[in-house]
Structure 1
Amino acid sequence: MTAVNDFYTLSVKAEYKSRPLVFGGGLSGYYEFTKLEFHWGSDETQGSEHTIESVQYPLELHMVHSQVGLTSEEALSQPQGLAVLAILFELSTTDNPVLDHILRAIDNINTAPDHMAQVFHPYALASLLPDDVRRYYRYDGSLTTGVFNEAVVWTVFAQPLHVSRAQVYRSWL
Structure 2
Amino acid sequence: MLTDSKMWREHESFCGGEHQSPINIDSSKAGVTNYPKFCFHNYDLVFPERLEKNGHTVELKIEEQGLHAELPFITGGGLTDRYNFVQLHFHWGRQLFGSEHTIDRKEYAGELHIVHYNTKYGNFIDAIPQEDGLAALGILIKLTDRDNLAFRHLEQFENIIDPSPVNSDVLHFSVPLVALLPHDTDSFYRYNGSLTSGDCNEDVIWTVFDTPIAISERQITRQVISSHGQPPRK
TM class by shorter chain equals: over 0.9
TM-score by length of 2: 0.69
CA 40–106 in structure 1, closer or farther in 2 if over 3 Å, else same: same
CA distance in structure 1 between the aligned counterparts of 2:55 and 2:136, rounded to whole angstroms: 21
Asked which structure has the greater CA Rg, the reply is 2
* SS class of match (2:183): coil
| Structure 2 residue runs without a partner (length 5+) | 1-48, 226-234
TM-score (norm 1): 0.93
Gaps of 5+ in 1: none
Q: Please show how residues 57-72 of structure 1 align to structure 2 within 5 Å.
A: 57-70=108-121, 71-72=123-124
RMSD: 1.5
Instruction: Give the whole-Å Cα distance in 2 for the aligned partners of 1:148 and 1:125.
Output: 25
The answer (yes or no) to whether the contact 1:101–1:119 under 8 Å persists in 2 is: yes
Aligned equivalents of 2:142, 2:193: Cα separation in 1: 24
Retained in 2: the 8 A contact 1:98–1:122?
A: no
- Is 1:80 matched up with 2:132? yes
- Equivalent residues of 1:47, 1:56 under 8 A apart: yes
CA contact (8 A) 1:141 1:150 kept: yes
What is the number of equivalent residue pairs in this alignment?
171
Residues 20-29 or 5-14, more deviating: 5-14
Structure 1 residue 111: deviation in Å? 4.4
**Counterpart position of 1:2:** 50
**Is 1:97 the equivalent of 2:149?**
yes
Q: Contact conserved, 1:38 with 1:62, CA < 8 A, in 2?
A: yes
Distance of 2:109 and 2:93 partners within structure 1: 6
Equivalent residue letter for 1:82: L
| Equivalent residue, structure 2, for 1:31 | 83
Higher strand fraction (1 or 2): 1
Q: Which amino acid aligns with 2:152?
A: D
Alpha carbons of structure 1 residues 7 and 78: separation in structure 2 relative to 1, 3 Å: closer
> What letter corresponds to residue 155 of structure 1 in structure 2?
T
CA contact (8 A) 1:105 1:118 kept: no
Which residue does the alignment assign to 2:7? Answer: none
Deviation at 1:112, TM superposition (A): 6.4
Deviation at 1:6, TM superposition (A): 4.5
Distance in 2 (CA, whole Å) between partners of 1:111 and 1:150 is 32
Aligned to 2:183: 131
